[in-house]
Amino acid sequence: MAEVTRHVLVVAGRTALSDALRGALLARAAAGPAEFTLLLPGDGDACERARRLVDAVERLRGAGLDVAGQLGDADPLVAVTQAWDPGEFDEIVLATHPPGRSRWLARDLPGRIERATGVAVRRVVAEG
C-alpha cells in the first residue's frame, strides 16, 4: 500500500531562501511523501516579494521538492488563517530568525498559529 502524501504549509519571510529551510524540507520529504506550499507573508514592493517567492520556489524545486508558492497578507497570522484549510493541509512549518532577531517569535507567532489552526507548528531557525 502506498504512503499517503502529506500537504505541508510552509510559512517564511526573509528566511525563504535559507539553507536551514531547504534542509528541513528535504528532511521532511525524506520522512515520507510530501507536497509543500510556500506562503510568503509581507508588505512592501509587490514585484520584489513576487521575485523572492519565485526564487525560493525554484530553489526548492531544484533540490527535488514538490513546491508551490503564494503571497500572503502583511500580517503573518492573517496570511496563515487565510491560506489554512484543514482539508488541504496536514502540517505547518514556520521558518524564523533566531530568538532575539525574530519579530515573529517576539509576537509568539508559532503559538498563535497553533491556536488558530489546531495544528502543531514545526519551527525552523534560519540565519538568512
Residue 37 has a pLDDT of: 98
pLDDT for 40-88, tens place per residue? 998 888 899 999 999 999 999 999 999 999 999 999 999 999 999 999 9
Give the chain's domains with CATH numbers.
6-125 (3.40.50.620)
Query: What CA–CA distance (Å, rounded) separates 5 from 33?
Result: 5
Residue 3 has a pLDDT of: 87
User: Is the pLDDT score of 1 beyond 80?
Assistant: no
Query: What CA–CA distance (Å, rounded) separates 117 from 126?
Result: 23
* Residue 90 DSSP SS3: coil
Confidence of residue 127 (pLDDT cuts 50, 70, 90): confident
Question: Are the beta carbons of 76 and 11 closer than 8 angstroms?
Answer: yes
DSSP designation for 86: T
User: Is the pLDDT score of 128 beyond 60?
Assistant: no
Q: Looking at per-residue confidence, does 59 or 3 come out higher?
A: 59
